[in-house]
Amino acid sequence: MSGAVGGVGATGATGGQATKVKEQAEANGLNKDQFLQLLVAQLKNQDPMAPVGSQEFMSQMAAFSTLEQVTNMAVANEEQSHMLAVSQSLLLVGHHVTYMKEDETPAEGTVESVDFGEEGFALTIDGESGIPAAAVTKVS
């Protein structure tokens, strides 16, 4: 079991997942850096005779703040979701489970360990490794 606990300390997958969420959020729209670049360009190129009003400037800053907080929440939510999945997988160790094999036939056994990889969590059940945690249908 000490090997499984060592895997929990390795949060590289968590950081990777959070980075993926941030990259996806940026790909779907304007990221923080782009927003600031646009804001600075607007301030540099504004008409001196008709500068941006303080109300409009504050509105833009509020929009930037909202964008930043939403991005931060998405990253935190992904990290929390990942850690919850880690905890749930670790709780299966030592329990008798029923699961579906790749050929869609049911099987059962005792979870011996959890392997944490790039593709998710894989269980070792009665010596058979590589069983996805999502394949478990019953825990007893």
Amino acid 26: pLDDT: 54
SS3 at position 94: coil
Q: For the chain, which residues score pLDDT lower than 50?
A: 1-15, 17-18, 21
- DSSP calls for 18-65: HHHHHHHHHHTS--HHHHHHHHHHHHHTS-TTSPPPHHHHHHHHHHHH
Residues 66 and 116 in one domain: no
Q: 67 CB contacts (<8 Å, ≥6 apart)? A: 30, 32, 35
Amino acid 52: pLDDT: 67
The pair of structure tokens assigned to 117 is 């990889």
- Entry pTM: 0.50
Amino acid 12: pLDDT: 40
Residues 85 and 102 in one domain: no
Helix, strand, coil percent values for the chain (each to nearest 5) = 55, 25, 20
Domain enclosing residue 23, as ranges: 1-91
